Amino acid sequence: MQKNIHPKFDLRTKAACACGAVFEVGSTMTEIKIEICSQCHPFYTGNEKIMDTAGRVERFKKRHAATAKIKAKK
């Protein structure tokens, strides 16, 4: 490996989210600005909404229940 060509890795890089959360991460960048983090993302906060267009979720649940019944009979 060649020397002095790799960027410096810093374990105390500040990552700032648009929601106001600030935390330290490891990166080669000096400062990171992000739009969404684990404190404001709907999946992690429990506010996730399933977009059900044309009844796709219900059709999936119906098919899944039908296969479960077939497997239970065997």
Q: Is 20 annotated for ligand binding?
A: no
Say if residue 40 carries a ligand binding annotation: yes
Please tell me whether 52 is known to bind a ligand: no
Q: Is 37 annotated as a binding residue?
A: yes
Q: What is the DSSP string of 7-73?
A: PPPEEEEEEEETTS-EEEEEESSSEEEES--TTT-HHHHT------STTHHHHHHHHHHHHHHHHHH
- State the binding site for Zn(2+): 17, 19, 37, 40
- State the binding site: 17, 19, 37, 40
